Amino acid sequence: MDRYDRDLRSLQEARDKARAGAKAAAEIATFSEDKIDFILQNMVRVAEANKVMLAEMANKETGFGNVYDKTFKNHLASTLFYNEIKDMKCQGVLSDDEEKQVIEIAYPAGLVMGITPSTNPTSTIIFKAICAIKARDAIVFAPHPAALNCSVKAAELMAVAAEEAGAPVGTISIITNPSMEASNWLMRCPEVKLIVATGGPGMVKAAYAAGKPAIGVGPGNSPAYIEKTANIQQAVQNIKISKTFDQGLICASEQSIVCEEANKDAVIAEMKKQGFYFMTREQTQKVQNIIFKPGTHNMNSKFVGHKAEVIAAEAGFTVPEGTVILVGEQDGVGPDYPLSYEKLTQVIAFYTVYNWKEAHDLCNRLLQHGIGHTFSIHTEDKDMVMKFSDMPVSRIMVNSPSAQGGVGGCNNLLISYTLGCGTIGGSAVSENVGPQNFINKKVIAWATVDLSDLKAIDPTWDYDPEPEAPAADAFANAFANTPASNGITQDQLNEIVNLMVKSLKGEK
């Protein structure tokens, strides 16, 4: 089969599944809360039963990360996420304010298109499928080709589980023969009402350019600032826990460490103690040369989500046993310093600054390459946290592993695999995306004032089309003895004032 035939088949599959999805969306929109919850419980049960198998498939197919952490990601996206949102109100009356006479009601978005990545493929599909069903939507997935098989398996498991519990056929589906043509058609077809895109910048931009509601998230580039009052041992441990989780694949994970001259030696000593390997300048250059595509700051997929010792070996040097993260000291930000960009693997940049003001400036510059996403700070000074509250991000993690914190795994943020970056980062939302973003809200509002008299809205409001003459006369008097200047004679100035007074009085 040639490329032309594959693209045609992919396009036809997209059309068929969009039509089936739209039909299913209309039917599931009528389901009760109890029926929806019954479907969700079966989906969670099936996801739990297959979490290891899906993790193994994803790891084998992509070569990214590790099975243990991917298994937990699937658990987080199913059981833990369901427990968090099971009581979330997503249909019927959301609020009824008797005092203000306003009722807010939820209703479904319709057919959702879910674009999923290769880094967290199965967990993202489980997560988005649960979001869609909770909101009484249907969803059709466009998976990343590099994670096709595991994505298809995850989506099919969720589809069968949903249908077994009573969901209409076609409520959850996936394009099994993906192509750019099919994805572009889905994004623009009338059946799809909402796009939720998790993936590379190109796909996210395409989603926003489709001319319909879209939620997209861009890359992260989170710096971790270890402020001088921080508990250094705990800060380094948190960064280690985060950066090694699934071998650095979560976009909220730390990409740079920033410390001050005052605590630099203690931070470096603790990092070395916990398995961070500080590369020489030559070794850093070698690592940069292999983990990024030539002439760019885009990662070479061969090294995404890989262990530190594997990267070091490919770069031509060995590291001590127990090394968990490669560290490259940097002197600046931008194209001449590739490690200042996002690195979804076990490599991190290291910066030293003189004080918190320099740290603030540096972190701001680093975040311009991951704007809107996540920032982390380690400090015992709450006032210092507030000084960094103006960072151009949507979430700030305090004394926390940034990856787990960003997705809501170790705090009270909503568990999510789609982290909104707000208008700062070109996203429609700035929160952790969940079922609340998969619904529409309509309001019913009663009139509370009698508009037969506009003063019912504002008793102090008044309108007088005829300004009082004294105001104009006072204006004239104010200029009566104004000396002429700039080449204007006194007579000319008086004439200008007279014309202005007439205008104020409504005269011609």
Calpha distance 488→485 (Å, rounded): 6
| CA-wise closest residue to 192 among 109, 91, 107 | 109
Distance from C-alpha of 155 to C-alpha of 172, rounded to nearest angstrom? 7
Asked if 348 and 258 touch (Cβ cutoff 8 Å), the reply is no
Report the sign of the C-alpha dihedral through residues 286, 288, 291, 295, in that order: negative
Phi, psi values for residue 357, rounded to 5°? -65, -40
Q: Are residues 373 and 394 in contact, defined by beta-carbon separation less than 8 angstroms?
A: yes
Phi, psi of 299, rounded to the nearest 5 degrees: -70, 145
Measuring CA to CA, how many Å separate 351 from each of 210, 445, 451, 464, 485?
40, 55, 63, 65, 61
Q: Are 501 and 472 in contact (CB under 8 A)?
A: yes
Task: Select which of 131, 150, 189, 251 is catalytic.
Answer: 251
Strand order in the sheet with 192-198: 172-174, 138-142, 111-115, 192-198, 214-217
Q: Which of 277, 268, 237, 267 lies closest to 401 in space, CA to CA?
A: 237
Comparing CA positions, the residue from 305, 330, 414 lying closest to residue 82 is 414
Strands of the sheet containing 439-445, edge to edge, are 92-97, 102-108, 439-445
- Alpha-carbon gap, residue 331 to 87, rounded angstroms: 49
Express the helix, strand and coil content of the chain in percent, nearest 5 each: 45, 20, 35
150 is catalytic: no
Q: Which of 54, 190, 41 is nearest to 116 (CA)?
A: 54
Contact (Cβ atoms closer than 8 angstroms) between residue 162 and residue 42: yes
| Contact (Cβ atoms closer than 8 angstroms) between residue 135 and residue 109 | yes
Find the angle CA(470)-CA(475)-CA(477) to the nearest 5 degrees.
90
**Nearest C-alpha neighbor of 377 from the set 251, 364, 308, 249:** 364
Q: Are strands 214-217 and 192-198 parallel, antiparallel or unpaired?
A: parallel
Q: For residue 51, what are the CA distances in angstroms to 82, 144, 155, 418, 434?
A: 15, 19, 13, 19, 21
Catalytic residues: 251
